[in-house]
Amino acid sequence: MSFPTQDLSIILGKHIIYTYENGWQYEIYFKNPEMVHYRIHSGLVAGRWVTNREVHMTALGHGIVRVNWVEPVGNIVTMVTSLQERWLHSYFLMPQWIIDNPKATVCHEDEFVEEMLKLREQGPTWPMNIAENAFAEITFLEDVGPDRDDIITCPPDELPAGYADRKN
């Protein structure tokens, strides 16, 4: 049996904006094999942004990469992406406390990790809600190179008008 070569060069350094079938819009930068930055433009927790989220990436073959991570708030995320075909699919589990109080997570999470951990511990963490957004279309894709800290640096409401509407 031969498994896919773990060449992640297809995704590293890429910056994308994508829109799920339900209309929620997100943005992510694949900084390096262990880290992503992301920003949420619309949806339940619009306005939230994160830098240096630790992730695990796996090349699945045929240009498809899976990215997994666990967030301090308690979310568990799996994203499968095909940049070549310009789609992705996310599946995440969201603890009940976020469903009950989504605005509590709208911040630059990196600056409030201790507060997020306290909120998570207060719960309720159960049930874990399946927030399967199904497929998303990648509407904007650029190669900005790996290991940059200047790609996602502010919340969505500080971006220039039309920033998230760019298409290519």
Give the residue numbers marked as catalytic: 26, 71
Structure tokens at 81: 């992406």
For residues 88 and 80, the answer to whether their CB atoms sit within 8 Å is yes
For residues 109 and 73, the answer to whether their CB atoms sit within 8 Å is yes
Q: Which string of DSSP letters, residue by residue, matches 65-123?
A: EEEEEE-TTS-EEEEEEETTTTEEEEEEEEEHHHHH-GGGG-SBGGGGHHHHHHHHHHS
